Structure 1
Amino acid sequence: MTLVDILIVAAYILASILIGIWFSKKAGQSKDAFFLAGRSAPWWLIGVSMAATNFSVDTPIAIVETVYSEGIAGVWFVWAGLISVSLVSFVFARLWRRSGVMTDVELTELRYDGQSAAVLRVLKGLYFGAIFNIFIVGWVFLAMYKMIQGLTPFNPIWILGFLAAVALFYSASGGFYSVLVTDMMQYVIALLGSIFLAAAALYEVGGITTLVTKLNERTTGTTDTTSFLPTFGEDGTMPFVVLGTYLTVQWWANKYADGGGKHIQRMLSARSERDAVGGSFLYAILNYTLQIWPWILVALCSMVLLDPSEQSDSMQVYSKTMTKVLPIGLLGLCVTGLVGAFMSTIDTHLHLGASYLVNDIYRRFLVKGADDKHYVAASRVAMGLILIMSIGLSISMDSVVGAWKFLLTFAGGAGATWIIRWFWWRANAWTEFSGMLASGICATALQAIFPDWHYTSRLLVTVAVSTLTWLIVTLLTPPTSDEQLVVFAKRVRPGRMGWGRIYDLAGIDRTKDIGVLGRNLMSVLLGITFLLGLCFSIGQLIFGEVFSSLVLAMIALVAGLVLYRLEQNRVSIEITTKDHEPSTLEKMQEQI
């Protein structure tokens, strides 16, 4: 990197600091302002912010690792997630926005009651606020460390420390306002940088035709690096059962089954139910169809451009390709994009982790009567602690993809419980508790005893054990009280399927919900069709298959138009937090 490149990165860092200072007064006004930007975010800002926090520095590294080991077909590990995100967009986004909670963990005491709900809230606050967030921030540090090693001769530790301090400053001072605004700036720079890098790498290779020819020359057995679908068989890149697991199990058996904390936080910050839906689907378009192809192209080009010795550490391939093909200025822009991606993920998880620890543990159980300024100050302290612990954990990690897959398996068995609680009144706090506990223990044991097992094998065993566990526990433990279920049903309106008895107790007109689930599922199917069509239309166009690209584009267009019409005719149930009827537990807390 030259002085020009470094100045471009410095300008971005300065802008992030100024944004934090600009929003500091507004963010300190209340908990809602600090954690949810006053619940005023528009759909386009929500969608871009979701995409920005997913466009982390670890993501291109993970895609490169995957393409190196399994070819383009290996990316189905990521693409399978578009099933889940479509379901979240057209089903769960509405439910989350109606709930009016501050964090997804807070939903625990809206959905359940009694001591078991309180214990579960503490467990999930620690589970997500500490374990998951620290784990995620840790592997992001690992990814950035590897990236810096390939870009500069300077000590990565000092650079990482400085960037993390900046992210901590603006997110702690400007609250969620600064997170959303910096995410917008970060995403535009990061996306442009990745596109420029892919174009420069492809130009350096000699074009797509030359790239495919050279890749075919290095292909062995039946493996086809550029195939969008797995090549099954003994020499194939992916067994059939692996792809089947991605498409039938992984998309729901994971932490993000009904949204995932960082995305739920953005849905809750939406100014309306429509904004929550629109923002979530915009994220799906950006994340699963647009930004992923530049990373794939860089991975493929690096196989041709870099010497075998430079490819020995696949976690440094992306940054080494940058320094090899980008001119002065563009290298600075691309590095700025990666710095922004790193800081976007850091600020999100610091903010999210603090919201769990402060709102769901500290405020709920330890210090109940303080004012909002006290809780905002406590949140800023919590952010610093999370950052320190994450840096310590990153030292013990050695693979981004490995960390990704272990975390998915760790929570995979509990994924079904986070879906079923919305659609079956009989689920109780012990359902989630037993699912989470069984999943974590099983995944950890399998990782220790059978480290050579494929990720999908461990996932299937974990899901099977956990599902059997939480089903038995649910049927052996008492259900949530009818009074609490009525409060939940009135506020969230989950639908009459699975809630008919509670709807009758609550006096909710069931006829208004007739066909709602069917329309939601139709939107989900149309969304999946649109996303897959658009994604592979872009891919086919990149590889010169114009006719098939046009066919896929037409399919995506038709699905998109029908989806738009269906969603435009839908009437949203807009419920603000002031309209919520407090639960018995909330009334008791106020009296105490």
Structure 2
Amino acid sequence: MQQIDWIVLIATLAFIVFYGIYKTQGRNNVEDYIRGGSESNWWTVGLSVMATQASAITFLSTPGQAFHSGMGFVQLYFGIPIAMVIICLFFIPIYHKLKVYTAYEFLESRFDLKTRSLAAGLFLLQRGLSAGITIFAPSIILSAVLGWDLNTLNIIIGVLVVIYTISGGTKAVTVTQKQQMGVIFLGMFVAFFLIISYLPEDISFTNALEIAGASGKLNILDFSFSLDDRYTVWTGILGGTFLMLSYFGTDQSQVQRYLSGRSMREMQLGLIFNGLLKVPMQFFILLVGVMVFVFYQFNPTPLNFNPAATESVINSPLQEDYESLQGQLNELRLEKASLSKNLITAEKNQDSDFKQEYTVIQTKLQDATAQEEMIREEARDVISRADKNVETNDRDYVFIHFILNNLPRGLIGLLLAVILSAAMSSTASELNALATTTTMDLYRRNLKEERDDDHFVGATKWFTLSWGILAILIACTANLFDNLIQLVNIIGSIFYGTILGIFIVAFAIKRIGGNAVFIGAVITQMLVIALFCLDKYEYINLPYLLLNFIGCALVICIAYIIQLIKKD
């Protein structure tokens, strides 16, 4: 990084922090501090909701996901528009009518205190873990690539977020997220157009799409019913809808974003805005990853994008084996570059033999892509033998490697600001929601005597600090998973189905009481964790997205059976 990159990075982050503090001074009552004064318009609500979900993991992991596996990951988000409509019709009117501070207040009025506390506790457990991951994700990658100290990065990100979140509460989170989303959109569009400009002169954007499609990277829709396929249209619509219903309808980190809307209509428009924009946004981020893939068809590419992995094997007795594989990859890349250009030439000519020639080249290109993945897999095996502790899965490092090695001065700082801004926005929302839920659902609800607003605002600030410290500690002790964006969704899928099941019973099945749904939820959560463990150790084959549907359905069925056996 050059001096200009440091200036851009530090100036961007400093502006966001100080702007958040400046705009939210004097928020000393519960309504202002927790609900943001209910002042947000619809587009502010929509951007805040989007920024909460779009963590640094989104911008680090998603392009790498597309680089390796193509565009199919976008199917995960097919359930968002459906979920937004359902939440606007059923969830928001009830939350607005009851004037709740948290989603879980409704559960006490419908069931009882223990059910409210259980749902709040499940949220605190899964969101507390996720808060640590949203800090850890950019830290470990920037640490590996830039050589910065990992724990120092964790502390810097966590402290910056805690400062302005404590200062202004929900309003501080909301106003800073608008600036953060501006930085994020600017950075991603700049990166996209630069990638296109870096392609060979005779390769246009349309040609790049042809090459990506011929290499199997543009297979967006998968209508198969195979459980071996993690992302299909059906898992996206079924599992994705239940995941998004749980996330946007019952997760306080999201609910708190739209509860800050100035009216029910503003809340609903904000969610619809998010539902309409979210899928195209994820499509675009995946497309950036696909363009990075095309870029590396014509430019030198490492065997493994994690520099720590490469360094570990270069300094080991297996260096020759690794360099031999790198040589094979270099030769294969030259072959793929030639095939890619022949593919474009065949497509342009379109003579009588066009279809046959095009098909032959396409088949060769797909074979070469498969061979490349085999070489990379062999390289991962060599790295593991050289150092068992180093992370060999490099999906989360693909995009940051491209940024640092190809972007001009100044823009590197901007893209790093994108990553850190995304980490800060999502972490701020999580800490704000964790503190609010702890204060309102556990602390305030169990106090025997009422206190004034200053007391609860102060308590929320202390809980924000406590959750921030815990998130930093989790980040400092976390380990990199198969893919960070998958890890966040896996954690959510384990808990969200149970929480959503409780809410659906509350909304739709009046005859089921608090005792039945409480017992049903406890049993369901244990069963879902058991199913996940069985799948992890390959005793069963179950896409994790379906855990959302299974958890929700189990709560409803078990609670209904218990209610039939024993009435409340």
Q: What's the TM-score bracket when you normalise by the shorter of the two chains? A: 0.7 to 0.9
Task: Report what 1:119 is aligned to.
Answer: 114
Deviation for aligned residue 1:214: 4.0
Instruction: Give the match's secondary structure for 2:446.
Output: helix
Counterpart contact for 1:5–1:329, Cα < 8 Å = yes
Question: Is 2:291 the counterpart of 1:292?
Answer: no
TM-superposition CA deviations, 1:255-286 (whole Å, max 9, x none)? 32635322221222211111111111112223
Matches within 5 A, 1:87-166: 87-112=86-111, 117-128=112-123, 130-149=124-143, 151-166=145-160
Task: Report what 1:201 is aligned to.
Answer: 195
> Which letter does structure 2 place at the counterpart of 1:300?
V
Distance 2:61 2:188 in 1: 14
> Which letter does structure 2 place at the counterpart of 1:22?
Y
Distance 1:154 1:257 in 2: 35
Alignment CA distance shift 1:208-1:477 (3 Å): farther
Task: Report what 2:428 is aligned to.
Answer: 347
Match of 2:209 among 184, 207, 212: 212
Alignment CA distance shift 1:277-1:145 (3 Å): same
Task: Report what 1:275 is aligned to.
Answer: 266
Counterpart contact for 1:197–1:325, Cα < 8 Å = no
Question: Is 2:422 the counterpart of 1:338?
Answer: no
Where does structure 1 differ by over 6 angstroms across 4 or more consecutive aligned residues? none
Instruction: Give the match's secondary structure for 1:67.
Output: helix
Counterpart contact for 2:107–2:506, Cα < 8 Å = no
Greater RCO (Cα-Cα under 8 Å, separation 6 or more): 2
Task: Report what 2:473 is aligned to.
Answer: 392
Counterpart contact for 1:93–1:276, Cα < 8 Å = yes
Counterpart contact for 2:82–2:241, Cα < 8 Å = yes
Match of 1:182 among 176, 183, 196: 176
Deviation for aligned residue 1:328: 1.5
TM-superposition CA deviations, 1:59-85 (whole Å, max 9, x none)? 233423543554212320122233212
Distance 1:367 1:61 in 2: 47
* Aligned positions, number: 465
Deviation for aligned residue 1:239: 7.3
Match of 1:438 among 517, 523, 541: 523
Distance 1:64 1:310 in 2: 13
TM-superposition CA deviations, 1:334-376 (whole Å, max 9, x none)? 2212211111111111110000111111111036322211111
Counterpart contact for 2:238–2:549, Cα < 8 Å = no
Counterpart contact for 2:501–2:553, Cα < 8 Å = no
TM-superposition CA deviations, 1:97-120 (whole Å, max 9, x none)? 2220111111122223xxxx1122
Match of 2:303 among 308, 311, 314: 308
Counterpart contact for 2:56–2:419, Cα < 8 Å = yes
Counterpart contact for 1:47–1:282, Cα < 8 Å = yes
Instruction: Give the match's secondary structure for 1:26.
Output: coil
Alignment CA distance shift 1:353-1:61 (3 Å): same
TM-superposition CA deviations, 1:356-403 (whole Å, max 9, x none)? 111111111036322211111111111122122223334334222134
Task: Report what 1:501 is aligned to.
Answer: none
Distance 1:316 1:475 in 2: 53
Question: Is 2:129 the counterpart of 1:44?
Answer: no
Question: Is 2:174 the counterpart of 1:192?
Answer: no
Task: Report what 2:534 is aligned to.
Answer: 449
Task: Report what 1:262 is aligned to.
Answer: 253
For structure 1, which segment, 158-167 or 441-450, has the greater mean C-alpha deviation from structure 2 after superposition? 441-450
Distance 1:75 1:288 in 2: 7
> Which letter does structure 1 place at the counterpart of 2:514?
A
Question: Is 2:331 the counterpart of 1:246?
Answer: no
Match of 1:472 among 556, 561, 565: 561
> Which letter does structure 2 place at the counterpart of 1:6?
W
TM-superposition CA deviations, 1:18-53 (whole Å, max 9, x none)? 23432454212x111111111222112111111111
TM-superposition CA deviations, 1:145-183 (whole Å, max 9, x none)? 233135522213212311210110101011111111101
Task: Report what 1:58 is aligned to.
Answer: 57
Alignment CA distance shift 1:269-1:403 (3 Å): closer
Distance 1:273 1:411 in 2: 25
Match of 1:229 among 221, 230, 237: 221
Alignment CA distance shift 1:65-1:309 (3 Å): closer
> Which letter does structure 1 place at the counterpart of 2:431?
L
Alignment CA distance shift 1:388-1:168 (3 Å): same
In the alignment, structure 1 segments of 5+ residues that lack a partner are: 480-592
Instruction: Give the match's secondary structure for 2:249.
Output: coil
Match of 2:402 among 321, 326, 347: 321
Alignment CA distance shift 1:459-1:379 (3 Å): closer
Alignment CA distance shift 1:119-1:413 (3 Å): closer
Alignment CA distance shift 1:367-1:191 (3 Å): farther
Distance 2:21 2:456 in 1: 19
Counterpart contact for 2:195–2:291, Cα < 8 Å = yes
Identity of aligned residues (%): 20
TM-superposition CA deviations, 1:410-433 (whole Å, max 9, x none)? 332442331242233223323542
Task: Report what 2:460 is aligned to.
Answer: 379
Counterpart contact for 1:27–1:174, Cα < 8 Å = yes
TM-superposition CA deviations, 1:517-575 (whole Å, max 9, x none)? xxxxxxxxxxxxxxxxxxxxxxxxxxxxxxxxxxxxxxxxxxxxxxxxxxxxxxxxxxx
> Which letter does structure 2 place at the counterpart of 1:261?
Q
> Which letter does structure 2 place at the counterpart of 1:15?
F
Distance 2:548 2:242 in 1: 12
Distance 2:145 2:204 in 1: 25
Counterpart contact for 1:23–1:175, Cα < 8 Å = no
TM-superposition CA deviations, 1:497-529 (whole Å, max 9, x none)? xxxxxxxxxxxxxxxxxxxxxxxxxxxxxxxxx
Counterpart contact for 1:96–1:267, Cα < 8 Å = no
Instruction: Give the match's secondary structure for 2:247.
Output: coil
Counterpart contact for 1:147–1:318, Cα < 8 Å = no
Distance 2:460 2:454 in 1: 10
Alignment CA distance shift 1:468-1:204 (3 Å): same
Task: Report what 1:536 is aligned to.
Answer: none
Alignment CA distance shift 1:277-1:296 (3 Å): same
Deviation for aligned residue 1:131: 0.5
Alignment CA distance shift 1:233-1:378 (3 Å): closer
Alignment CA distance shift 1:461-1:24 (3 Å): closer
Deviation for aligned residue 1:331: 2.0
Distance 1:477 1:198 in 2: 60
Alignment CA distance shift 1:50-1:403 (3 Å): closer
Distance 2:531 2:303 in 1: 34
Counterpart contact for 1:172–1:383, Cα < 8 Å = yes
Deviation for aligned residue 1:455: 2.0
> Which letter does structure 2 place at the counterpart of 1:86?
V
Distance 1:164 1:412 in 2: 29
Deviation for aligned residue 1:462: 4.3
Distance 1:233 1:361 in 2: 43
